Amino acid sequence: MGGLRRRITFRFINMVDFLRTTLLLLLAMPAFAGPSDDNHVHVEQVGSGDDLSLNIEQIGYDNFIDFSFAHSGNTFNLEQNGNGNSISWVSYWGSGKSWGGDVDGVDNTENVEQWNGATYGRHIWGDDNTVDVYQSGTHTHNLDIHVDGVDHEISQSGSGSHYAHIYFYQGADDSESTMTQQGTGSHNAQVTLRGTEHTIFTLLQQGSVNQSYSLTQTCYTVGGCTVNISQGN
């Protein structure tokens, strides 16, 4: 492994809430991991409690996090530093906690930082959820997020190429999305907006590089939906 050390840190800030929420944690070290990931963290909520605080930090490359939560009031702080890291879902849909890599509930908060080339993907279902994703550094950054009733802020910067796909479900009511793509890499955004109530989307693409986006909007709101697009150096 070239002497590079990997570190994964779990900190359950509120031990009372941890005891109320049973977690299954699987840490697959390199000898057991698949060919595409060095360290794999899998977290599945199998209890009935809310208000969990979960911190995960991964340092190295080709690391992978996936988790599924079906309750409310949870806070997730996730950080990855290194090329080829991923926070994502698995390739199937289900219900509740069986959704691979998803958050299903209300008043959940997810804060994500990924450095030097990474992928983030998530299905997030429920009202009053908040997601902030920050991707920066060299190499390519990819983001794919499908949301319902979620306010989120996306930032991609650095010298790598940036690709982002955001899909608002039809029930994505009163959602606000802000996406910023900056730096010396090319910028591409694909956005689908739906919703029975007011939604707001803001896109800023900045830098002397190729900038492109596609927007598909179906607005069911009498008062209309708001879209702000800005491109330039």
pLDDT in tens, 77-123: 999 998 889 987 655 444 444 444 578 788 889 999 999 989 998 88
Tell me which residue has tokens 């608002």: 168
Residues of the chain with pLDDT under 50: 1-37, 92-100
3-state DSSP call for residue 41?
strand
d(CA 50, CA 111): 18
Res 74: pLDDT: 87
Cut 0.85: pTM above it? no
Token reading at 121 = 């993907």
What does DSSP assign to residue 2? T
pLDDT of 106 reads 85
- Tokens 């057991």 sit on residue: 32
Domain ranges of the chain: 1-119, 140-233
Classify the C-alpha dihedral 223-130-146-18 as positive or negative.
Answer: negative
Give 12: exposed, middle or buried? Use CB within 10 Å, 0-12, 13-18, 19+: middle
Q: What is the pLDDT of residue 178?
A: 92
Q: How big is the CA angle at 81 (ends 191 and 61), to the nearest 5 degrees?
A: 100
Q: What is the per-residue pLDDT for 132?
A: 93
